[in-house]
Structure 1
Amino acid sequence: MGFLTQFSAHAQFGNMLKKAKKNIAKKAENKISAKNSTSDSNSQTNSEEKTSYTDEEFKQELAKKYPNDKEKQEYYFKKYKEYQQKQTAEKEALLAKENSKGTVVSEIPSPVESSEDDKFKDNQIYVLNRTKFKKIPAYDGGFSDKMKLSGYYHLSQYFVRNPANHFDSDPGDIYEGFSLEYNPESYEVNAYFSADKKRYGVVPEQYRKSANKGNIQFQFGMGDGPEWTNANVLLLEPGVLLIGAEVYHKNDEEGHKWMNNAQPQQFVIAAKNPDLIKKYYKNPEVTSKATFAKFDDLRKDWLGAKLNSVTMPVKGSFDKNSAIKTAAVSGLNTYYGKMSMKNLYQYMTSNKWSTVKHKVTGVPLYQWSVGAVIQENKSGKCMLNQFIVRRDYTGGGNYGNPYFNGINRGSIRAPYGDYVKCDARPNN
């Protein structure tokens, strides 16, 4: 019986709240729509009195429902006021979002393409696809470093942080620049969009030799700020950055290419001097030429460090065998001559023959040994490969003369197949 009484009391209170909610909604709308006429306001007030409660009326209704329970009357009135405050706040926030000052735009203009009058003003709200954005004042941290990478950078396009979700009452953020802080000793980078919002970046290890010379490429990681991360950033020239520098080396003949056939105008240019942005922004030929040249230098430095780290295989005793050595040199010269490449240097690495026998009869078929060759490509760069010298079984325990049997590309391991210095030689 006690449960049913409590259930009935809550149901009654719920019905009272429904009426109270109508009153709250009307009051919120009146507050937002203050320009309504006096007659309209009076009409709304009369309507409210018929369908909702004032505080005193609500107390009177509670007294009628619970005439002998003062504690319950006070408890439900307290809950009513809490509910009233919550509903009023939610309604006013929703109406404020819908009616607050803002300029509807079909596309957010970029700092470069917009005139001063078209640019966003500080703290002004703009509406894009029914989502509101607020321009965040630029932050200059006054950073500097010996490589002169640090400093404040203007952007060719605004960076955007969208609201957390569709129902978020706070607008998104728009940033027109950032302040870069670079540490040449640790190769770490911080991009500050405000004093407390930043993204962290670092120069990849393979590009640190280049960074020491001023050719800087770094990659941003996670952090707090606009919605971009893991972006490759390249220093095109002092004070100018390409954000989104996705480049790969196709081959020695064609050189570098844009990843996934992207075009430079899809990326973002940042510059300490905003006039320099126009030199690259939406200028694919200039941007591509500068980017590929920088990446070519990065690759040369990286390859140079990699070439120096290659350990050449040691010479084998077969290198002193004149018949084997003669067969190797003659075969390699002919092989590379047909491809306009050079047999720059070669030597045998085997100390004995390896025998291949018939799987069923066990009769020997041939023997093979291997060596190392430095080939010079058409580009002038050199690679280390493994070659095979073979001799066939002629019967009676005898084998024919050794001959060159091609480049081994099937089961090789590093350093074979890698680029090496053209003058690289074994230690023994």
Structure 2
Amino acid sequence: MDSKRVVVKIGSSSLTDDRGQLDHVKLHDHVAAIARLKSSGHEVIVVSSGAVAAGYCGLGYPARPVTIAGKQAAAAVGQVMLLSNYAGMFGKYGMTIGQLLLARQDFERREQMSHAYSVLSELLKRSVIPIINENDSVSLAELTFGDNDMLSALVSGLVHADFLAILTDVNGLYDKNPNEYKDAVRYHFLDHLPDHLLDETSTASGSKVGTGGMKSKLRAARTALSLGVRTFIGTGSGPNKLVDIIGGHGNGTYIGAEHLKPSLKVTKQWIALHSPVSGKIEIDDGAVHALMQEGKSLLPAGVKKVTGHFLAGEVIQIIDQKKHVLGKGQVNYSSEQLNEIKQLPSAHAMAVANSTHPEVVHRDNWVPWTTVLFTDNKKGVTNHDAH
């Protein structure tokens, strides 16, 4: 088996008992499987839930808190408990862990996203197992990931992972609810995720300690696929479960063809999935063809209309003359400059704007809309914008 870079997402229900407390037997089962996978030559990053579930009992709550302050306090206590247990258990295998807490803001700021990539790359280089969780104790409610499923997908893209394993208490995706229909059939493999599966899947979590249901896992899988990462959703037990999953013998559903397109560079991931949109540029048919079919940059001559106020370096949507969204790009000119130079030849435009950039948007800073979709990022292009 070739060496792979694997992201393993472990949900709260897979880490806690019926009372919502940290289950050391379950935790050790995961650690043993991760240690076996790493010993097999793979690089492993863990995205672990369970901090709030592990911490609320220690604060005297009878059940998982519902207030923001209660959740954040439970996360602060539980994160210490969780990482202490991880460190002790991995230490028995002679393995070192590192902690990284991420918030949505860390992805929305290009420089911080690059720093996150750098530190994860260095930890892997040093044979450390990064354990990532959302920074629940300080995250703003409107800027959270919602659950660690989407966080694991974004991390898998960020580190250019080969595989994302989302471990849960359900053994994969079914054509209908297996708890209600005895004839429900499980999907073992899907080369893509059709819209109807997402539409028909419930948003409800199957666990009283978790925040994400199957729909959140499918959304995460679709995002991972757009970033070039194959995904597994399912369950398992024993030290060989992750080796079996990577080998195609897991108890769940595999999503994504064997050979996906290469993952985007970190800069393009930021543009596609995290950057706020500051305006729109409408382009003519010739520019559409050059951009979409020939892989060329957008030049001033192709710009028909500028909407909104933006500065050079900000991200804009590019649309055609029928108002269809084509994608997002980082622009080299401000909206004021573009209104002066639109439809001009590049040399003339550069002279008028006193600029060294012949391109309005360089192809290296452009991402088509098919990559921008399905991230639940309210600041970016959505599926509805594309139609």
Q: With structure 1 as the length reference, what TM-score do the two structures score?
A: 0.26
Bigger share in helix? 2
* Pair member with larger Rg: 1
Q: With structure 2 as the length reference, what TM-score do the two structures score?
A: 0.28
